[in-house]
Amino acid sequence: MSLEKYRAQTVVHRRNILGLSFATCVLMLSAAGYTQRLPSVARPQHYTLQLTPDLQGATFTGRETIDLTLEQAADSIVLNAWQLKFETVTADVDGQALPAEVSLNPDLQQATFHFATKLPAGPVTLKIAYSGILSADLRGFYLSRTAKRNYAVTQFEPTDARRAFASFDEPAYKATFDISLVVPQGDTAISNTNVVSDQPGPIAGEHTVTFARTPKMSTYLVAFLVGDFKCLSGSSDGVPIRACATPDQVQFAQFALSGAEFFLHYYDNYFGIKYPMPKLDMIAIPDFEAGAMENFGAITYRETAMLVDEKTASINAKKVVAVDVAHEMAHQWFGDMVTMEWWNNIWLNEGFATWMSNKPLAAWKPEWEIPQSEASELNQTLDLDAARATRAIRARADTPGEINEMFDDIAYGKAGAVIGMMENWE
C-alpha cells in the first residue's frame, strides 16, 4: 500500500546486495502469541467465490466454497467474517453434507460454524451462501461513485477481505482462488488474473465473468472491480499490461502504462524471477482511501496517484505517479509473492518497496536526479525519528485498529532507510 506522502519519495540508489532469500527469512519471523487471531485448527487450501453486486441497492450476494484441512478433529470452525449475513453453511466430509449453525462475534470480526458432530481431521469443504453490503467507508467490497454512476471495488488491506467473504483473513493463510463475478451487461469486471470465460446470464441483463485460478496468495491481496472501466493496453517481457480508469479519465493513464512497461522489465532482470502473474492491470478508482494498493496482478490507485496529463503536468506530478507505480510493482515480488506472516513485520514489506522503487525510477528518468531527492527524503526521515513520538519499526499489533496504525511514516520512510543502510554497509 502507498501512503499519499510517499508518492514522490526516493530512498536508495546503489545496487542491491540484499537478495530475496534474505528478505524472505526476515519476513517469516515468528508471529505467535497475538490476540484476536484465529485458532490454528484449520488451514485453507482453495477458495471458490462467486459474487453478484447490486450497484444500485449497494448490496451483494455471494456463493463460496472453501477447501480446507483440519489439523485435528473439531466440532467447530472459526473464520473471519464481518458485516455478512449467512443463509446456509454446510461442511462436506466424505460425501456427506453436514449443516452448521453460525454464531457471530462482531467484536472479534469472527464467525464460528458449529456442527452437531465432530468433523474428522483431514480435508473438509465448506459451502457458504451469504449476503453483504457494498460499504460506504472505502473498505472491504465497497461502493465507489462518480457523478454519472456507481462502481463496486475492493480494498482489503489489512483486515477487510472478511467484509466480502468469510475467510481466514490473516496473511499467513495463503490459498488459491477461483473468482467469478455476475455483473450488469455492458460492465467490465476485473480481478487478479485473466478472464477465462464471459457468458451471458444467469438472468437477462447480466453476464458472468470467470477468472483464471490464482497462485497461492493472502486474502488481503484479492481484488475485484465492476464498472464501465476502459483500458489502455501495453506489454513487457511477454506480460499484458493494462492501465484502466473511468471512460472520461482513461486518456490520462498512458504515463503510468509506460512506466509499468519499463519497471516490469527492470524488476524481472533485477530479481532474476519473472513477474509471476499472467497479466498486470492498474486501475484508477474515483473513491479510494489509500494512495495505491498492491493487489496481486490488479493494482488499484487513487486517481491522482495514477492519472496525469503528460502535456501539461509538472515533473513533480509525474514523479508522484511514477513513484507509486514503481512502489506497488515492487510489491508484486515482495509482499505478494513473498508475504509477511503477521502485521508486526509490515515495516519490511513497505520499507522494502519504498527502498526499491527508486532503482527503476533512476534508470527510467535519470534527468530527475533521484539521488538528490533520496537525500532530501532521508533528512526528513531523520527529523521524524528524532521526535519524542517516534516508535520502533517493528511493533506489536493485536487488533485491526492497531494494525492500521502501523501504516505510518516509520513503516515506510524509516524502514526503507534502515534497509538502505544495510545495503550500503561494508
Catalytic residues: 328
Please answer whether residues 168 and 43 qualify as being in contact, where contact means their C-beta atoms are separated by less than 8 angstroms: yes
- 403: its cell numbers: 494494525
Buried/exposed 87-106: b ≥16 CB within 10 Å, e otherwise? eebbbebeeeeeebebebee
33: left (phi over 0), alpha (psi -120 to 50) or beta: left
Q: Is the dihedral of CA 146, 152, 154, 160 positive or negative?
A: positive
Location of C-alpha cell 446470464:
201
Euclidean distance between CA atoms 242 and 233, whole angstroms: 5
Q: Which three cell numbers stand for residue 283?
A: 486501475
CB-side exposure of 126: number of CA atoms within 13 Å?
34
Strand locations in 331-423, DSSP E?
none
Grid cell at residue 417: 532507510
Radius of gyration of the chain (CA): 22
CB 277 within 8 A of CB 193: yes
- The sign of the dihedral angle between the CA atoms of 324, 293, 332, 16 is positive
How far is C-alpha 397 from the geometric centre of its chain's CA atoms? 19
CB 184 within 8 A of CB 205: yes
Pairing state between β 74-80 and 84-93: unpaired
Beta bridge partners of 239: 236
